[in-house]
């Protein structure tokens, strides 16, 4: 039992010792330094810039040659920028840095090669190189720098962030304008509904008045027709109907029901010369 406990504590001590050893190894590990590489890089680019400036300053006389040399050094500085931030960028900005840097460095190395060959006396400037330096170099380098700066500016993360912020602000402004327009539309629709309701109320009131007037007119015409129909004189009835604007043909005269005759009336209506059925003596 004691041996088991001792082995358990010994194994724990062994694990702690291994952990301390791993931490010590991790603390001793260091990445290679970049100081010397950066120094060589800037020295290399500075040499290329000098050789580019020397090429155009010697071939093209006067201030124009100096200006072309300055533009070539500016292209070299932009190539250094692309190389320096290439590992720190991502997405389209990284691609723009890589493409711009490669193109500018290719032209810079070509110009530096012509310059260094002339410097060591191996190769003299040909007429093609002189023509290129006087006529083609300035617009070409200026165009490459302009295109590179434009692409890098468009794909820069700050511009992407500003573009997204602008899009979001535009969306917010659009939503607010839509909400305001919707609110104004609702108020306008409410006003139109109120006007429509007032119109319907006025129309209902007029319809009720028309119904009352029409009912009164119908009642009056019925009374007129009834009075005309009660006139036994046909000529007088037709004259009055024409004056009242009623067609005489539409008036049906009232037919008086015969009243039940009394016993005396029956006696009077008999033929006086006829036999009297009521006389039992005959």
CA-nearest of 84, 85, 136 to 110 is: 136
Q: How wide is the angle at C-alpha 57 spanned by C-alphas 144 and 142, nearest 5°? A: 15
DSSP-based three-state secondary structure for 135: helix
Entry pTM: 0.54
CA-nearest of 205, 102, 96, 189 to 150 is: 96
Taking only the tens place, the pLDDT of each residue in 170-218 is 999 999 999 999 999 999 999 999 999 999 999 999 999 999 998 988 8
Q: In this predicted structure, what is the pLDDT of residue 250?
A: 65
Taking only the tens place, the pLDDT of each residue in 16-28 is 777 777 777 666 6
Question: Are the beta carbons of 76 and 44 closer than 8 angstroms?
Answer: no
Question: Are the beta carbons of 54 and 119 closer than 8 angstroms?
Answer: yes
Q: Which residue ranges make up each domain of the chain?
A: 35-155
Rg (CA), the chain: 61
Better pLDDT: 74 or 258: 74
User: Where would I find the H helices in 2-136?
Assistant: 2-28, 35-59, 62-85, 91-119, 127-131
Distance from C-alpha of 214 to C-alpha of 245, rounded to nearest angstrom = 17
Distance from C-alpha of 52 to C-alpha of 123, rounded to nearest angstrom = 16
Strand stretches in the chain, DSSP E:
none
In the 8-state DSSP scheme, what is residue 281? T
Question: Are the beta carbons of 225 and 251 closer than 8 angstroms?
Answer: yes
Question: Are the beta carbons of 63 and 134 closer than 8 angstroms?
Answer: no
């Amino acid at each position: 039992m004691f041996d088991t406990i001792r082995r358990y504590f010994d194994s724990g001590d062994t694990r702690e010792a291994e952990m301390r050893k791993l931490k010590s190894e991790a603390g001793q590990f260091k990445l290679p330094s970049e100081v010397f590489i950066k120094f060589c890089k800037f020295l290399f680019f500075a040499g290329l810039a000098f050789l580019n400036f020397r090429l155009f300053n010697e071939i093209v006389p006067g201030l124009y040659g100096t200006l072309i040399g300055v533009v070539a050094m500016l292209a070299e500085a932009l190539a250094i920028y692309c190389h320096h931030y290439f590992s720190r960028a991502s997405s389209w900005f990284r691609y723009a840095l890589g493409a711009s840097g490669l193109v500018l460095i290719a032209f810079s190395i070509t110009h530096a090669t012509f310059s260094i060959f002339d410097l060591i006396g191996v190769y003299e400037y040909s007429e093609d190189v002189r023509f290129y330096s006087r006529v083609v170099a300035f617009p070409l380098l200026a165009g490459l720098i302009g295109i590179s700066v434009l692409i890098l500016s468009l794909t820069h993360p700050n511009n992407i962030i500003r573009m997204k912020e602008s899009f979001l602000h535009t969306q917010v402004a659009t939503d607010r304008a839509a909400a305001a327009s919707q609110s104004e539309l609702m108020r306008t629709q409410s006003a139109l509904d109120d006007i429509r309701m007032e119109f319907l109320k006025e129309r209902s009131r007029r319809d009720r008045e028309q119904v009352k007037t029409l009912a009164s007119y119908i009642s009056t015409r019925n009374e007129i027709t009834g009075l005309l129909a009660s006139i036994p004189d046909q000529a007088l009835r037709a004259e009055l109907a024409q004056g009242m604007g009623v067609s005489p043909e539409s008036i049906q005269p009232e037919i008086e029901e015969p009243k039940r005759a009394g016993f005396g009336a029956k006696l009077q209506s008999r033929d006086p010369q006829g036999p009297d059925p009521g006389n039992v003596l005959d």
